[in-house]
């Protein structure tokens, strides 16, 4: 943990020094943040971010987690919860996780205990789910995504306050979870964007 923080701080310092010397800031940040320190970027996006949080049930070390985290960053989500395995493929996140607050929970029960009384919204196309377009949105909710293939566990679905799905018209059983997360985030936040 400390090594990650030090590496992240050093990367931010190097980028700031390099930028001030006329070198290009190559970090994956929008132009307004080029040349700013890591802490300065986090502080600014914390200030203007949204209350919505996300959680990912990491039972299979899904390669889509990076995509979900990157999308969360793009939509202004500030807090990401990883339930289950701590190890995940961060390559798809393109270092955007460094600007988020990531929390790890060993189990569904420890996740629920840590986040309640927030509203937990499971995103999965299971029987009994509600069309996401028809659900009243709680700004302070947590959208929870499962792994590609198995989706969310029965324990997580039972712990959720609501289960929503994205309507489909084609023949496929489901969307890729990384794509579904992007759509769900957009739909949940589109009135604020």
Residue 111 shares a structural domain with residue 167: yes
Entry pTM:
0.83
- Please give the structure tokens belonging to residue 170: 């084609």
- Gap between the Cα atoms of 52 and 77, Å rounded: 6
pLDDT (0 to 100) of residue 64:
82
Residue 78 shares a structural domain with residue 164: yes
Backbone angles phi, psi at 104, to 5 degrees: -110, 135
CATH number for 84? 3.40.1280.10
Other CB atoms closer than 10 Å to residue 126's CB: what's the count? 14
How far does CA 7 lie from the centroid of its chain? 22
- Gap between the Cα atoms of 185 and 167, Å rounded: 15
* Predicted confidence (pLDDT) per residue in 11-52, tens digit: 555 554 544 555 788 888 889 999 999 899 889 999 999 999
Other CB atoms closer than 10 Å to residue 92's CB: what's the count? 19
- Gap between the Cα atoms of 44 and 25, Å rounded: 18
Residue 180 shares a structural domain with residue 96: yes
Q: State the DSSP string of the chain.
A: -HHHHHHHHHHHHHHHHHHHTT----SSS-GGGTT--HHHHHHHHHHH-BS-EEEEEESS--TTHHHHHHHHHHTTB-EEEEEE-S----GGGTTGGGGSEEEEESSHHHHHHHHTTSPEEEE---TT-EEGGGSPPPTT-EEEE-BTTTBS-HHHHHH-SEEEE----SS-S---HHHHHHHHHHHHHTTT-
- Gap between the Cα atoms of 120 and 106, Å rounded: 17
Residue 36 shares a structural domain with residue 123: no
Residue 65 shares a structural domain with residue 92: yes
Show the domain range for 163. 49-189
Residue 44 shares a structural domain with residue 73: no
Confidence band, pLDDT 50/70/90 cuts, at residue 5 = very low
Burial label for 2, CB within 10 Å (0-12, 13-18, 19+), is exposed
**% of the chain exceeding 90 in pLDDT:** 55
Per the structure, the count of domains in the chain is 2
* Predicted confidence (pLDDT) per residue in 115-144, tens digit: 999 999 999 999 999 999 999 998 889 999
């Amino acid at each position: 943990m400390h090594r990650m923080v030090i590496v992240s701080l050093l990367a931010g310092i190097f980028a700031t020094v390099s930028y001030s010397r006329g070198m290009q800031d190559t970090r994956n940040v929008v132009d307004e943040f080029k040349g700013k320190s890591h802490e300065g970027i986090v502080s600014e996006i914390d200030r203007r971010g949204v209350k919505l949080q996300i959680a990912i049930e990491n039972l299979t070390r899904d390669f889509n987690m990076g995509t979900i985290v990157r999308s969360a960053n793009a939509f202004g989500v500030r807090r990401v919860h990883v339930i289950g395995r701590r190890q995940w493929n961060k390559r798809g996140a393109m270092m955007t996780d460094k600007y988020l607050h990531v929390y790890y929970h060993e189990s569904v029960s420890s996740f629920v205990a840590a986040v309640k009384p927030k509203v937990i919204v499971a995103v999965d196309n299971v029987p009994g789910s509600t069309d996401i377009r028809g659900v009243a949105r709680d700004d302070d909710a947590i959208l929870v995504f499962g792994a590609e293939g198995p989706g969310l566990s029965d324990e997580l679905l039972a712990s959720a306050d609501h289960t929503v799905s994205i309507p489909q018209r084609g023949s496929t059983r489901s969307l890729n979870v990384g794509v579904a997360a992007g759509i769900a985030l957009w739909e949940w936040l589109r009135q604020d964007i």
